[in-house]
């Protein structure tokens, strides 16, 4: 009930802004669903239509440098939730400040994970380390100087729930605040190389560290598209008195044929030892109780077809390989979506 009140109240504030202030308002949205079929030992052996999801974005300029954005998103079996809701002060190219509920600018994928913004259907394996579409309450500073682009943020920070999984909540459970930054070099219109860092405390006492380090690359031309990220997670184990570190990476290469995009993706990441097979859309973030993880790699080949300017379809086949055990868990996935 509190979550519903918070969502309703926040949206009401933004609608009042648009109604009583001279705001220039834009509305956008997105929708998608999938058909998922795996081999006999995979997550979807019988085949299923699933992952009905969508979102609505309201943004605009209130006055001068002051703007706002609110995004509501939902997925099947989950209630709609507030993904972003912030005020933006656009002082100059050097100084842009956000206040409110922010998507964390760690790498590139976390802030551009909507279906239409990526080639692959399943989320890249390394993005199981932190919550899906990680967001938090706080403030951020973004800007650029020539070809250097930067962002820094101060937020409540990730915390571990009673089962040990990292979550991002509305309230901070300790005095420490999570902090992070991203620095990128952008050359021309299509090439960008960036590095990201996050540090915080996940326990109520504020003594157990959790950190993320990352590198990201994007290179886009008329005919080619290359995206990749590397993520390393480091945290203090709550009982063993030692740090644990796990990492993963992905690289996706796409080739354009007018309205068709043929792509290949290779992913390798640490995954929970007790969960060789999992639903990529529901696997929770990293668990600080874990002492070990196992390696899993995925090769994906697929095709994205832009049927119309705002309507797209994807077909993808995934080969999954677990290092320590052989499992028949390859996947065939189909996605249909549109944006407005």
pTM score? 0.89
The per-residue pLDDT for range 148-189, each reduced to its tens digit, is 999 999 999 999 998 999 999 778 888 899 999 999 999 987
- pLDDT, position 310: 94
- pLDDT, position 22: 56
Q: Name all contacts of 304-310 with Cβ < 8 Å and 24+ positions apart.
A: 304/119, 304/254, 304/260, 304/261, 304/263, 305/259, 305/260, 305/261, 306/259, 306/260, 306/261, 307/259, 308/338, 310/338, 310/339, 310/340
Q: With 0-12 CB in 10 A as exposed, 13-18 as middle and 19+ as buried, what is 92? A: exposed
**C-alpha 25: how far from its chain's center?**
25
CB 330 within 8 A of CB 321: no
- If you average pLDDT over residues 33-42, what whole number do you get? 94
- If you average pLDDT over residues 52-58, what whole number do you get? 94
**C-alpha 55: how far from its chain's center?**
14
Q: Using CA atoms, how far apart are residues 229 and 215, in angstroms rounded to an integer?
A: 6
Residue 309 tokens, joined: 């300017």
Reported as a pLDDT band with limits 50, 70 and 90, residue 210 is very high
- pLDDT, position 4: 47
CATH number of this structure's domain 33-52+105-339: 2.40.160
Residue 280 tokens, joined: 């990529």
CB 339 within 8 A of CB 304: no
- pLDDT, position 220: 94
Q: With 0-12 CB in 10 A as exposed, 13-18 as middle and 19+ as buried, what is 154? A: middle
Q: Is the pLDDT of residue 283 over 90?
A: no
Three-class DSSP category at 192? strand
Closest C-alpha among 335, 293, 295, 298 to residue 314: 335
Reported as a pLDDT band with limits 50, 70 and 90, residue 215 is very high
The per-residue pLDDT for range 69-125, each reduced to its tens digit, is 999 998 876 667 899 999 999 999 999 999 999 999 999 999 999 999 999 999 999
Reported as a pLDDT band with limits 50, 70 and 90, residue 280 is confident
- pLDDT, position 289: 93
- pLDDT, position 294: 87
Domains in the chain: boundaries: 33-52+105-339
Residue with the two structure tokens 């886009």: 220
- pLDDT, position 8: 52
The per-residue pLDDT for range 250-260, each reduced to its tens digit, is 999 999 998 99
What b/e string do you get for 63-90 counting C-beta neighbours within 10 Å, with b at 16 or more? Answer: eeeebbbbbbbebeeeebbbbbbbbbeb
Between residues 53 and 17, which one has the greater pLDDT? 53
Q: Using CA atoms, how far apart are residues 48 and 328, in angstroms rounded to an integer?
A: 18
């Amino acid at each position: 009930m509190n979550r519903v009140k918070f969502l309703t109240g926040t949206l009401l504030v933004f609608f009042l802004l648009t109604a009583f202030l001279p705001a220039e308002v834009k509305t956008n949205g997105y929708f998608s669903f999938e058909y998922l079929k795996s081999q006999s030992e995979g997550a979807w052996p019988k085949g299923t239509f699933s992952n009905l999801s969508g979102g609505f974005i309201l943004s605009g300029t209130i006055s001068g440098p002051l703007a706002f954005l609110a995004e509501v998103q939902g997925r099947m079996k989950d209630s709609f939730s507030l993904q972003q809701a912030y005020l933006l002060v656009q002082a100059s190219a050097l100084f842009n400040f956000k206040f409110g509920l922010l998507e964390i600018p760690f790498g590139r994928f976390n802030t551009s994970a909507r279906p239409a913004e990526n080639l692959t259907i399943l989320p890249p394996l390394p993005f199981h380390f932190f919550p899906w579409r990680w967001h938090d309450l706080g403030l951020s500073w973004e800007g650029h100087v020539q070809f250097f682009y930067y962002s820094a943020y101060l937020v409540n920070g990730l915390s571990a729930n009673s089962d040990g999984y990292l979550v991002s909540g509305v309230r901070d459970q300790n005095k420490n605040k999570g902090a992070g930054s991203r620095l990128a070099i952008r050359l021309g219109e299509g090439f960008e190389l960036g590095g990201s860092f996050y540090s915080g405390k996940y326990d109520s006492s504020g003594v157990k560290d959790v950190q993320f380090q990352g590198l990201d690359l994007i290179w886009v031309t008329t005919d080619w598209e290359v995206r990749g990220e590397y993520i390393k997670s480091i945290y203090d184990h709550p009982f063993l008195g030692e740090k644990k570190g796990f990492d993963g990476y992905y690289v996706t290469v796409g080739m354009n044929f007018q309205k068709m995009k043929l792509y290949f993706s290779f992913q390798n990441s640490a995954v929970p030892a007790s969960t060789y097979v999992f639903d990529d859309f529901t696997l929770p973030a990293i668990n600080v109780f874990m002492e070990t993880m196992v390696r899993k790699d995925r090769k994906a080949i697929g095709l994205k077809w832009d049927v119309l300017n705002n309507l797209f379809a994807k077909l993808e086949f995934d080969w999954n390989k677990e290092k320590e055990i052989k499992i028949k868990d390859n996947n065939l996935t189909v996605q249909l979506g549109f944006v407005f």
